[in-house]
Amino acid sequence: MKTKKLGMRLFISMFIMCIVTSIINFDSIKAAIYTDLPVSYIDDNFPDSYMPYINALKKAHPNWVFKAVHTGLDWNMALSHETYEVNEGISLVEDIYGAEWKRDGQNYYQDGNYVTASKQAVAYVMDPRNFLCDSGIFQFEALRYVDGVQTVEAVNGVLAPTPMGGEYKSRYKSYGTWYDLGTTYAELIHSISARVGINPVHIASRIRQENSGNIINNSLINGDYGVYNFFNIGAYDSSTGNALSNGVQYARNNGWTSISSALEGGIRYIYDKYVKWGQNTIYFERFDVNNPGTAQWLLGTGYMTNIFGAKNEASITYNAYESTGMLNNAFEFDIPVYENMPEESASMPVPSDVTFTPDNTLVYLDDPSDSGAVDEFWIRSGPDTLATLMEKIYETRDGQENRTKFTRIGIGNNTLYDKIQYEDGRIGYVLKKWIYEYQYTKVESVSLNTTYSKLNVGDTLKLEAIINPSNATDKTVTWESSNDSVATVDNSGNVRAVGEGNVTITVKTNDQSKSATCSIDVVQNKVSSISLERDEYTLKVGQSMHINPIILPSTAQNKEYSIQSEDSSVVRIDGKNIIGVSAGETIITFITDDGGYKATAKVTVNEDSSVEDIILDSSLNLENNIVSKIDINNNTVKNIKDKITTNYDMKFIDIEMLS
């Protein structure tokens, strides 16, 4: 914004208006210059060329409300009105801009560091379609106060980077004397704005814009002269003084001797001079097209002469809402619509040697130099860093197919940017280095190196995805287990069995979601333990014994084991047989082949004793000569007892053998 120009234009407009209205009927002037100007009206009906941008914003921010303000003005007529063709000095740019931004490429109407803007430059910033994006849209935010939408936190978000932000409460009073404000600037601005009925976030943004962020160093703000003028009202160069002295005098004349009174007066000034008369957005304060035929419009008055004023304030406002997490609030945007607008939005001024070769190539965005997992791309409304940032696109590194596709409609000559078009019709500009031609060989099928496997708990399996054709562009796959409690799988196809059951491992391609599966049975088939029924066993010399160990789990595939004797002179092992060699004691050990698990027992070998020593009580009459049916030599007394059936008690000698 041009501070010096602000005060001058306000002064001139009021002076001329007084003269005109005192001499000639204003209606006759209106009729002589513009005839049959309709009254603007608001509805939800946007032209087709607006809709791709509106729809994209609605999708991203469902709570936002968009209203079309039909100005009734012919686009070309309104554009001429906002340029030097009708009002010299109404639209200015800094003289550091390139020739394409200036009238005839020259420094016309030099006023400080500002010069007359070219008609193309004005058209670019005046066309609403160039700013229907996250940040640019806030130049169309309705400036009425809405409780709960424009909060103290949002106001402080605007002021935070300045000395007026945060909890800072002290400022210069009269001629360098410090005093305590008693509240934060954010709270004070919010309370006054709410009372007046104007958006406090806009007010804070206006203060920053007016002072180019250099707030504390401005004598009109820090109270060096005992007065305050936060909005530089009346601060213009004239024959009676410079911008500073005139700004001080204006504040003094209006009694702005305190911070509170200066803020109150400045806020009411903006509301009474602009917002109340329909200039109720930043855009309408810059381009007063919502008041066709009024004095202000016909005389070319507006709050700003800098053509980027509305764009810059919108960025400040957007950043404030974003930093405070309020972007999803129920904002209302009043967006102007003109009659007979071009089909495409006004293009950004570019150097004369920059042209675009027509193209119609399907492209995607990629940044191979970025090593992160996500690429970030900036799409602008023109082929220059001065252009509005339309959108930031974040793309994961998952191949061409899943990246956003665009049509490159122009290859920029002598510029770092190419011209692209979204699938929904929106047009933007992207750095050449990010654009790659979309050349894609689709995946036809995917298979696995095995479709079935049986695993034991704890086992692992490497599955490999086989992509057909082998030259497919995107070979990226994802893996999924139907039951993580049975088996898990990582991003590389490594399967780990964790519990008994059946599980299906699925691999899917990014390209058309082709898939293949592997069924896996997970069992507990490895030996986990071995044990014996007893801790001690007894043998006779020459006797053979077979002991069956208990091996778990019962489903174990390999239940083989070996037996070792600590003293083979006492007990000898023959395969699975334990043979008593000589009287004595020793330890035998059972060892599983699977896992090497062990179980031990003590074996006692006694001297040999024949079964003839067994004496049956002579009083016992055994029916059917049962004893004769028993091969005594091959049976222990205990076994014999088990084979005898009688209704009488039996008496055994040699109790030792009954073990």
User: Which parts of 366-489 are beta strand (E)?
Assistant: 374-380, 389-396, 405-413, 417-421, 427-431, 435-437, 445-448, 452-456, 460-462, 465-468, 477-481, 487-489
pLDDT of residue 624: 47
Walking along the chain (659 residues) 10 residues at a time, the average pLDDT comes out as 36 36 37 43 91 93 94 92 88 91 88 89 96 92 87 88 71 56 88 94 84 64 84 82 88 92 94 84 86 63 81 87 85 94 92 91 88 86 88 81 89 94 92 89 91 92 94 88 96 94 94 88 89 94 93 87 95 94 95 94 84 44 48 52 53 48
pLDDT of residue 301: 59
Residue written as token pair 């599955």: 463
- Lay out the sheet containing 544-546: strands in order across: 544-546, 577-580, 571-574
Per the document, the length of the chain is 659
Instruction: Name the phi and psi angles at 301, rounded to 5.
Output: -95, 150
pTM of the entire predicted model: 0.58
Q: Which residues pair with 531 in a beta bridge?
A: 550
Roughly what angle, to the nearest 10 degrees, separates helices 243-253 and 3-23?
60
Q: What is the largest CA-CA distance in the chain?
A: 159
For residue 539, give the H/E element and its range.
strand 536-540
Q: Kindly report the CA angle at 244 between 240 and 250, in degrees rounded to 5?
A: 70
CB 174 within 8 A of CB 223: yes
d(CA 84, CA 406): 38
Instruction: Name the phi and psi angles at 137, rounded to 5.
Output: -60, -20
CB 435 within 8 A of CB 395: no
Question: Is 328 strand, coil or helix?
Answer: coil
CB 92 within 8 A of CB 111: yes
CB 241 within 8 A of CB 233: no
CB 288 within 8 A of CB 118: no
Which of 640, 568, 551, 576 has the alpha carbon at shortest distance from 603? Answer: 568
Around 9, how many Cα atoms within 13 Å sit in the side-chain half-sphere?
25
pLDDT of residue 430: 96
d(CA 18, CA 322): 44
